[in-house]
Amino acid sequence: MIKLGPCRLIPSNLNNGDDGRLVFLKDVYDFQSLFYEKKIVKVQSNFINLPLIIAHKEKIKKGFREFTANLTYDINVYKTLFDQFDTEIKDEPVEIREAVQQAIIDTEGRKFMAYLDEKLEELENLVQNFSNDEHERHGFYFRKQLWNIILSSAFMKRTNIKPRGYAGDSEMMQMVYRNCYEGDTIFAKLMHKHPMEHPASQAVRSRRKLISSRLIDLKENHKINPDNPLRVLSVACGPGFEITDILQSPADIDRYHFTLLDQDPSALSEAQGIISQLEARFGKKIQAGYLNDSVRTMIAKRQIQENWGFFDYIYSMGLFDYLTPPAARAVIEKLYQLLSPGGEMIIGNFHIKNPSRCYMEYWCDWVLYYRDEEEFLELTSKLENCQARVFFENTGSQMFLHVRKEMPNN
């Protein structure tokens, strides 16, 4: 028997067959949790940590508090002005509203985005000597103060709330690839578009092109097993948008065999959807396999070659941004075991001097594990018959580790 405390029945005025509603007098309960999850959850429990949260500001540096307060005030002034424009045109036809919104975005909106750039530079200077603990503490405070502003951006809302439990999910990647003004209001569109134009987002778009271009080039110069499809493994594949860039004709389909690995079932499901769309477009079956596996289980597998086979090309664009050195080394060594002689592997990792680092950590609550060139190359130090180098995409935000397994007697 569950005791929930005193309550009373309030008669219902609705003609829906209900006699009334049961209301508890001392505690308020989450009945969704009670009936469907068999958990007793008091709504008041949300207030338990309130004193700690309020006291959090005492550990925030005065200059940072002043900066955040001024920034919040300024942005809200901008928001009020942009919202006034939206109110004035809300009854106009859609075409008129969109044209007026775009005119405001192209003029005053771009000035607002330039203002955000200036304030971001100030923020970077303000926190440049913070310890990791100070970054975490001040970032939490910053987002608390700017929370409603952050939520106005579809992109930053998703990076902060993390509906799939992690940043960088496929929906976020689609937003970056689209690189559009998205949102219902002028202000929402601007807040969404601003991070899309930052170097980190440019790097994400660049790396997709880089991977696609390299695979197309290998297709034309495939010397490992020229009579067989190029066997490709994508690690932490997400939805595999780059495959749409690689397969441009029915003839391309015969030249590749894709294996897509991800720990997120939703990402693999989206990848299957993209493959199915391509098959429908070209009227031909694509050679593709799907592995729902995590880094931890992959490292633990002993006879991985027997289960997965060997690959001519292995790539991972975003996984290593979240791996510590021991885990990163273990993954690279395991992947190298799967690489055919003469095969190539390309691994992406954001550089320690990523210009968007402060933006990502303070605004987006998106923390990565950064490396420099030496640390990245060091991950390959125990690989045999290996040629390794590091190169950068155009913005300099992200570097790539290119590994080639030498052919026997070569």
Res. 13: pLDDT tops 80: no
pLDDT at 149: 98
The pLDDT of residue 397 is 95
pLDDT at 22: 67
Q: Provide the CA 367 distance to its chain's centre, in angstroms.
A: 10
What count of Cα atoms within 13 Å lies in the side-chain half-sphere of residue 27? 14
pLDDT at 16: 62
Report H helices in 168-282.
170-178, 186-196, 199-220, 242-246, 250-253, 265-282
Checking if the pLDDT of 107 tops 70, the result is yes
Are 317 and 207 in contact, with CB atoms under 8 Å apart? yes
What's the chain's average pLDDT?
91
State the architecture of 201-405 in CATH terms: 3-Layer(aba) Sandwich (3.40)
Half-sphere exposure of 46 (CA within 13 A, CB side): 6
The domain segmentation of the chain, as residue ranges, is 7-48, 56-196, 201-405
CA 348 – CA 350 distance, rounded (Å): 7
Statement: residue 41 has pLDDT above 60: yes
Q: State the pLDDT at residue 224.
A: 66
Per-residue pLDDT tens for 260-277? Answer: 999 999 999 999 999 999
Q: Are 290 and 235 in contact (CB under 8 A)?
A: no
Q: Which of 2-6, 97-101, 167-171, 195-199 has the lowest mean pLDDT?
A: 2-6
Q: What is the pLDDT of residues 282-298, one digit of tens each?
A: 999 999 999 999 888 88
pLDDT at 375 over 60: yes
pLDDT value of residue 20: 65
Q: Name the pLDDT band for 128 (thresholds 50, 70, 90).
A: very high
